Amino acid sequence: MSLTDIKEKVCKLLALSNSSNENEAAMALAKAQQLILVYKLSIAECLAAGQYVADEQIIRDGVPLIATSRIALWQTRLCDVLAQANDCKVLLYKGVGIVILGRTSDIQNVRTMLSFCIGQLWKLSPKGQGKVYSDSWYLGAIDTMKKRLKEMKVEVVKMATTYGLVKLNEKAAKVETFIQDTIKVGKAHTSSAQIDGRAYLQGKQDGHKINLNSHKELS
């Protein structure tokens, strides 16, 4: 059985987990969880492939992704890149931090990826060369991560069924509609930072070393 077949089976089981028959629903969910663990999959992969789409409400998460009054440009950039990859949106609130909006499962994926990626970035980042050098390296690495995530999403779209593709487009569009209807967004301010070109280019190279699949084992 191919990995695609496994994903399809997981999706069908997840759909069955919404059955009105409690025993059937419980057994389907247990089996889906077992397959996810054995094959190191994530529900997000099934959602992205368009095989199973949960009817989740869009929310503004009450817990900021990063809660601090002083946020580095690279931190904002990283949160934005990971949010976009998961059909979410981030907003920066003065005195609060970076707030995320989207579906609960997508938000959880962003939180998991953020924690996982920050840990890897810190390990790879240059030490003892000053803030400008360090921040420039982070921005370079994150730009490469953004490019890789976009390429991954293109591949996901290629594999998606016509039905799934519609759902993927709906996900992003509904988050934007939610923001327009319920959130008062102020004027966007362009942030600038001093960039060390050498550090930025090194970061772009090192960005290829970041594992973007947090549910997979690091080699």
Q: Model confidence over 128-156: pLDDT tens digits?
A: 999 999 999 999 999 999 999 988 877 66
The Cα diameter of the chain in Å comes to 61
Region 104-123: what's the mean pLDDT? 90
pLDDT band at 163 (very low <50, low <70, confident <90, very high): very low
Query: Cα torsion at 99, 105, 106, 108 (round to 10°)?
Result: 50
80 pLDDT above the threshold of 80? yes
Q: Find how far residue 186's CA is from the centre of its chain.
A: 24
Query: Residue with structure tokens 């094959």?
Result: 39
pLDDT exceeds cutoff 80 at 22: no
On the question of pLDDT at 64 being above 60, the answer is: yes
Domain spans, the chain: 1-41, 56-209
Identify the band that residue 82 occupies on the pLDDT scale cut at 50, 70 and 90.
Answer: very high
Share of the chain above pLDDT 90, in %: 36
Q: Three-state DSSP class for 56?
A: coil
- CB contact set of 122 (below 8 Å; sequence gap of 6+): none
d(CA 126, CA 78): 17
Angle (deg, nearest 10), helices 73-85 and 104-124: 140
In the 8-state DSSP scheme, what is residue 66?
A: B
Please choose, from the candidates 215, 216, 214, the residue with its C-alpha nearest in 3D space to the C-alpha of residue 118: 214
From 20-29, 160-169, 185-194, the region with the lowest mean pLDDT: 160-169
DSSP 57: P
Q: Over 80: is that where the pLDDT of 49 sits? A: no
Residue 161 has pLDDT above 50, yes or no: no
Contact 121, 216 (CB under 8 A): no
Mean pLDDT of 105-123: 90
Q: What is the pLDDT of residue 50?
A: 44
Q: Where are the beta strands (DSSP E) in the chain?
A: 58-60, 89-93, 97-103
